[in-house]
């Protein structure tokens, strides 16, 4: 959940002139390149290969969300199929992460479910899995329902869960029996206080309770998705007692030194690698998490980097 300042950043970045400033200026695109592997699948593959070579697993996210047209939802599905084929051919240690609104959720939920099923089948053929991102709370219930049905059918899916949501403990009761990989994150969207904790201390405490639960359950693969060292240290303390698999997960470009430290110490780490031309909404969430990033951008923009 963004801080008060982060919420201000989100509101600002929704304005058209600010969007243009980021997307049409050299400093804006340079900032995006810190968090996004590139605009093409080739660029994403090159980054994924480099990360694999350093010992990290990868989750590839072809950026896009909230499609407004069925044909765009099908294009997104096909882009992911091409990505899975490349992962299989190259033998990468990589899966894909998808947003169901990119596959049509909210527009045509059946289409989104069919496309996710197609991706799960192809991922199985490529020897890998599909992670489902969690988006705004208005999509949580439908996302869980689609995930639960398809995980029961294919068995190679995973789902993100957000510790800031008050409903998450109840969702975990439902989800832990389904196997799969459950990616625990804090939550990146602006949500109302009746649905989500707004105080960082409450979000962190909820995160720790969920992490403790996940690390103690057999049959699911906990994915601890955070750059917060207090949360990571808790899981490190729990890890020796866990016999089955788990992994840490971090975002491409965020705390790279911490990523190297985890890898250097032999911890399993997966890096979430976004790519594609629809990077603006993703970038705004990264800016809202750390408003200092905006200051770097403004300084560069004022230095005259507009192109
Ligand atoms: C692999 C992965 C997948 C995710 N998937 C989802 C999802 O499906 N749905 C969803 O709602 N959210 C998702 N998120 C985002 C998540 O919910 C948080 O918004 C984000 O990870 C920041 O929270 P944090 O746990 O790192 O803790 P924070 O307390 O926000 O950050 C801890 C420290 O990390 C550093 N840091 C954090 N973010 C940044 C940044 N953008 N730039 C620079 N430094 C930073 C800062 O130093 C900060 O002090 C995902 C995160 C990860 C790592």
What would the mean pLDDT of 27-41 be, rounded to a whole number?
89
The domain made up of 37-278 is a member of CATH 3.20.20.220: yes
Q: Decide: residue 273, CB within 10 A, 0-12 exposed, 13-18 middle, 19+ buried.
A: buried
For the chain, what percent of residues have pLDDT higher than 90? 74
Alpha helix stretches (DSSP H) within the chain? 4-13, 16-24, 26-35, 41-53, 70-90, 109-125, 140-154, 168-175, 200-216, 229-238, 256-264, 280-289, 292-302
Query: Ligand 1 mean position to 90 CA, how many Å?
Result: 29
Question: Measured from the CB, is residue 19 less than 6 Å from ligand 1?
Answer: no
Question: Measured from the CB, is residue 187 less than 6 Å from ligand 1?
Answer: yes
Confidence band of 304 (pLDDT split at 50, 70, 90): low
What are the φ/ψ torsions at residue 13 (nearest 5 degrees)? -70, -15
- The helix/strand/coil state of 270 is strand
Q: Is the model's pLDDT at 300 over the cut of 50? A: yes
**Confidence (pLDDT) at 243:** 67
Q: Is the model's pLDDT at 213 over the cut of 50? A: yes
- The helix/strand/coil state of 216 is helix
So which residues are the catalytic ones?
Answer: 133, 183
**Confidence (pLDDT) at 307:** 42
The pick from 188, 204, 269 for probing ligand 1's pocket by mutation, whose C-beta has the most ligand atoms within 8 angstroms, reads: 188
What mean pLDDT is reported for the chain? 92
Find out whether 304 and 34 touch, Cβ atoms under 8 Å.
no
Question: Measured from the CB, is residue 293 less than 6 Å from ligand 1?
Answer: yes
Whose C-alpha lies nearest to ligand 1, atom 34?
227
Q: So where are the chain's domains?
A: 1-36+280-307, 37-278
Query: CA dist 59 to 76, 85, 87, 229, 272, Å?
Result: 16, 14, 10, 21, 5
Question: Measured from the CB, is residue 225 less than 6 Å from ligand 1?
Answer: yes
């Amino acid at each position: 959940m963004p801080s008060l300042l982060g919420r201000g950043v989100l509101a600002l970045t929704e304005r058209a002139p600010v969007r243009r400033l980021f997307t049409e200026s050299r400093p804006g695109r340079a900032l995006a390149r810190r968090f996004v592997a590139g605009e093409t699948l080739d660029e994403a593959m090159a980054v994924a290969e480099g990360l694999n070579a350093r010992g990290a697993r990868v989750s590839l996210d072809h950026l896009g969300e909230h499609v407004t047209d069925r044909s765009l939802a099908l294009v997104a599905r096909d882009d992911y199929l091409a990505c899975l084929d490349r992962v299989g051919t190259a033998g990468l240690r990589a899966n894909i992460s998808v947003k169901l609104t990119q596959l049509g959720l909210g527009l045509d939920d059946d289409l989104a479910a069919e496309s996710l099923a197609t991706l799960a089948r192809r991922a199985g053929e490529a020897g890998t899995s599909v992670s489902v991102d969690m988006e705004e709370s208005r999509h949580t219930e439908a996302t869980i329902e689609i995930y639960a049905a398809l995980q029961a059918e294919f068995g190679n899916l995973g789902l993100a869960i957000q510790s800031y949501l008050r409903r998450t403990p109840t969702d975990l009761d439902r989800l832990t029996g389904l196997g799969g990989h459950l990616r625990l994150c804090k939550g990146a969207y602006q949500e109302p206080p009746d649905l989500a904790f707004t105080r960082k201390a409450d979000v962190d405490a909820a995160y720790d309770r969920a992490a403790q639960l996940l690390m103690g359950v057999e049959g699911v693969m906990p994915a601890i998705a955070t750059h917060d060292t207090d949360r990571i240290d808790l899981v490190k303390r729990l890890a020796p007692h866990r016999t089955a698999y788990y992994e840490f997960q971090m975002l491409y470009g965020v705390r790279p030194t911490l990523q190297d430290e985890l890898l250097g110490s032999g911890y399993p780490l997966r890096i979430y690698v976004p790519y594609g031309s629809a990077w603006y909404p993703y970038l705004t969430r990264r800016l809202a998490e750390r408003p200092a990033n905006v200051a770097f951008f403004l300084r560069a923009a004022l230095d005259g980097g507009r192109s």
